[in-house]
Structure 1
Amino acid sequence: MAKFTMPVETKTPLVLLSGLAADARIFTPQKVAFPQLRCPVWSPPHRQESIDEYAQRLAETLDPGPCVIGGASFGGIVALHLAEHVDAQAVILIGSIKSPSQLPVYARCARPFRFLIPFLPIRFLQLLSRPMTARRLKRITPFAHGLACQFRDSDPRVFKWSLSRILDWSLAPVPSCPVYHLHGDRDWTLPVKYTDPDKVVVGAGHVLSLTHPDEVNSYLKNVLSQKSLE
């Protein structure tokens, strides 16, 4: 894993949303490089709340002023909707997608079975993941350990809602600001072949914010620098 980059000198507010079963820890390298970074906590969704309704409610808690927003995976999808409710100067997708047409085949095939999501035993699965969260494994497999800890600590309500919204996502917003897209060429969750990113990181998988922090931070820096000069 690459070393974290030093703090970047730009004051443009940056808001990044984590993905499914993840939290702000997924952006730990970015927090080091961008002191102005905010990573909102996923609050419990309202019953049958749409992505846009959730994004509007999230915007009311942020009030960041002119800013650059973005997200990883599902967080990027929500960021596209959030852009309609805040003064977004740009949206940055990190291992995410721009529209439902870019969902992989397995996700589209799973749509008819969305009604089963409320019955998923998330609490039980979190218990099964506990061995991977043992402290001794942190030294052996820090990356897997970190992801397991995030899944263990995730809210089952948020997890099920997010999964449902991914499967019933049918209409992508078209933000009035530019959309930038960074993707890994070894992303098996959201394969790059279904997307059209602006930049592809060679050797990076789905969680490139952690595995390739220098590349991600450099990309964020370039976007923020552009916006600070405008």
Structure 2
Amino acid sequence: MPVQEKKTTVYLLSGLGLDPNVFKHLTIHSDDIHHLKWLEPKKKESLESYALRMSEGIQLKGDNKLVLIGHSFGGVLMQEISKIITTDQIILISSIKAKKEKDAGMNFWMRTFPLHQLVTQKMVVNSFKSWGKKHGYQSQEAQAMFLHAAQQHSSYYFRWATSQIIAWESKDITTPIAHIHGTKDKTFAFKRIQPPLIAIEGGSHLMVFNKAAEVSQHINHILDKM
């Protein structure tokens, strides 16, 4: 009898301040797709402890292969989760996989002058008009998606998550990583992203939403090769 190929289970996690709706335009070729949702962080919780709690939401069917897909900060969390649960593939979208892929603002200035510790949810929502379009939220649909998601998160979540991504250093990650990144990303500059890399020309930090067909094509190509 021919050997039956293993099926694939896919879990997705949105970026900081977002929810699963950021993935709504993707078309992923898998019959077993799930979304992780951000939990409220505990006071002074470590990223490792948080990743452990998040990993409890992952359930594998039989001997399915596990693929973790993360957008932005969600990609950082998926890398941490891969240390806890045996994972066959990580797919990063508009994210980072090493400290040197962050810019100087995150690696030095925000550590030295941690003004982000004063951020509130209301400030994030009220300032959105000043930075949203620059980071890819140009359509009314994208803007409404962000504002709806942001209002679901607490002020502490925003402060905690920002602190974690500033402090994060990639360590002990052994799972294969595929990295999809846009050339016009204003959050994590394309020029700082290290190979291996799949470039999307003109893609913004929100390309998972507004260039979903192209992102889907690359995701499915990765899944087909597994």
TM bracket (short chain): 0.7 to 0.9
Matched, 1:162 2:161: yes
Matched, 1:17 2:13: yes
Q: Match for residue 111 of structure 1?
A: 111
SS of residue paired to 1:37: strand
The one-letter code of the counterpart of 1:72 is: H
Task: Give the deviation of 1:158 after TM superposition.
Answer: 1.9
Task: Give the deviation of 1:35 after TM superposition.
Answer: 4.8
Q: Match for residue 73 of structure 1?
A: 72
* Deviation >6 Å, runs of 4+: none
Length-normalised TM-score, structure 2: 0.82
CA distance in 1, matches of 2:33, 2:157: 22
| CA contact 2:72–2:94 (8 Å) conserved in 1 | yes
CA distance in 1, matches of 2:127, 2:198: 36
SS of residue paired to 2:80: helix
Give the aligned CA root-mean-square deviation in angstroms. 2.3
Task: Give the deviation of 1:25 after TM superposition.
Answer: 0.6
The one-letter code of the counterpart of 1:148 is: L
Task: Give the deviation of 1:124 after TM superposition.
Answer: 4.7
Structure 2: state its 5+ residue gaps: 1-5, 130-138
Residue 101 to residue 127, structure 1, CA distance change in 2 (3 Å): closer
CA distance in 1, matches of 2:30, 2:112: 41
The one-letter code of the counterpart of 1:18 is: S
| CA contact 1:181–1:199 (8 Å) conserved in 2 | yes
- State the Cα deviation string for residues 79-113 of structure 1 (Å, max 9, x = none): 11111111210111100011111101222221112
**Matching residue within 49, 52, 70 for 1:56:** 52
> Which of the pair is proportionally richer in helix?
1
Residue 201 to residue 125, structure 1, CA distance change in 2 (3 Å): closer
The one-letter code of the counterpart of 2:163 is: S
Mapping for residues 88-99 of structure 1, pairs under 5 Å: 88-99=87-98
Residue 216 to residue 118, structure 1, CA distance change in 2 (3 Å): same
